[in-house]
Amino acid sequence: MTECQALMISAPSSGSGKTSVTAAIARWQRRLGRKVRVFKTGPDFLDPMILERASGHPVYQLDLFMGGLDHCRSLLAEAAASADLILVEGVMGLFDGDPSSADLAAAFGLPVLAVIDASAMAQTFAALATGLQRFRPDVKVCGVIANRVGSVSHGKMVAQGLPPELPLVAALPRDANLSLPERHLGLVQALELPELEAQLDAWADQFARALEPEFEFPRVSFENAASPYAEAQPQALAGRHIAVAQDAAFSFIYPANLDCLRALGAELEFFSPLQGQVLPECDALWLPGGYPELHAQTLRQHPSFFADLRQHVQAGKPLLAECGGMLCLLDQLIDTEGQTQLMAGVMPGTARMQSKLAALGLQAIAWPEGLLRGHSFHYSTLGTPLHPIATAENPNAGRTAEALYQQGSLRASYIHHYFASNPAAVAAFFIGDRTKDTHGN
């Protein structure tokens, strides 16, 4: 067993301020010279980008469906071995979803610090806080943060009625200048926020001023576990060069996916189409999700990107395209203003952006090589003459059930796959047809 200070930061609902509080604590502790590891509960790409900048370390997902209990245990054990403090940001409300943040907290004995938006309440704050504390006996809510209070007196009012075992850890004042901009899918990406470093420092300063001096981070014992990739086939992708698009248009990348590919022996080659970089010489290509719809003109003006994609597939080399990566490959993309953007023309079809959410949910999909898990979250709809080779299942019986398309060496879906859910299947796809050389002969 390894002991480490640890907390889950959760809330009654989305929009309460979990990300800003988690980032504030991480940056404050990091400035004190402590090593902080931050995790995000459930599938998410945007919040972890902010949290990575705050903590100075990549932020991994803890998801009991996508990765499983043993995988999460391994990630936590690995972090606890070197970190001074582990923070886990929850998802949605504490008890929302299946699996929920509460399920994760219970599985690993993580004490919960609840962030409650107090902007429109006073003494009712205590009723809500004690309700969270008492709802599940296997989940320990160890303190609360009142977020967006209007004044010092307001902060005192929300503390009234809290029991001694549920202290008010901090009352954070409302400050519109400390809010982060949002767009469809969530927060604007960290790499697009030039003032983010200053904002993170401001959050940390605000939290340090508001923190009750008696508060101490609880200590948690984590069970030692093998590497989360111990069962990966270490030589399955040995000698294979996999190109990965990575920039503001292709940024939805789980760090665990990169770890998984490396554990399988792959050599990763990153490139930025938005910066005009050419597709590297490679045996396979991964186009992750992101925002190609915001950068369609820049991608189209790249001197070789679309042609390189077509040549890659024509050569029979594996190409995995996920969500935004798939949109880039289509014939055209219609934006919310009704303007048509010509795309790469590698995959037949048209996507249409819309102002409302099109799909959201965890996904389990049967690849020809085996079952993979992941999630879906997008604001576009797709029309394509291709017939799916598989359709995902939603573990929560939701409506989202994404299709998996295959055309030659191209495989595409709206699903953001979690490679660690089946490394062998991922390896088998990226190996491709070894009877052909890298030029498709």
Q: For residue 230, what pLDDT band results from cuts at 50, 70 and 90?
A: confident
Average pLDDT, the chain: 92
Q: For residue 390, what pLDDT band results from cuts at 50, 70 and 90?
A: very high
The per-residue pLDDT for 183 is 55
Q: Dihedral of CA 52/371/405/429: which sign?
A: positive
pTM of the model: 0.93
C-alpha closest to that of 201 among 29, 412, 61: 29
pLDDT, tens digit, 9 for 90 and up, residues 320-345: 999 999 999 999 999 988 999 999 99
Beta bridge mates, 334: 340, 352
pLDDT, tens digit, 9 for 90 and up, residues 284-294: 999 999 999 99
User: Has residue 79 got a pLDDT over 70?
Assistant: yes
**Contact status, residue 83 vs residue 36, Cβ threshold 8 Å:** yes
- In order, the DSSP letters of 108-142 are HT--EEEEEE-TT-STHHHHHHHHHHHS-TTS-EE
C-alpha closest to that of 228 among 258, 190, 206, 272: 258
User: Has residue 226 got a pLDDT over 90?
Assistant: no
Beta bridge mates, 115: 145
User: Has residue 306 got a pLDDT over 80?
Assistant: yes
pLDDT, tens digit, 9 for 90 and up, residues 141-174: 999 999 999 999 999 999 999 999 999 999 999 8
| Helix (H) / strand (E) containing 274 | none
User: Has residue 123 got a pLDDT over 80?
Assistant: yes
Provide the token pair at 310: 């077509």
In the three-class reduction of DSSP (H, G, I as helix; E, B as strand; rest coil), residue 18 is classed as helix
Report, as residue numbers or ranges, the catalytic residues.
323
Q: Which residue ranges form the domains of the chain, and what is each CATH number?
A: 2-222 (3.40.50.300), 241-431 (3.40.50.880)
For residues 227-254, average pLDDT: 90
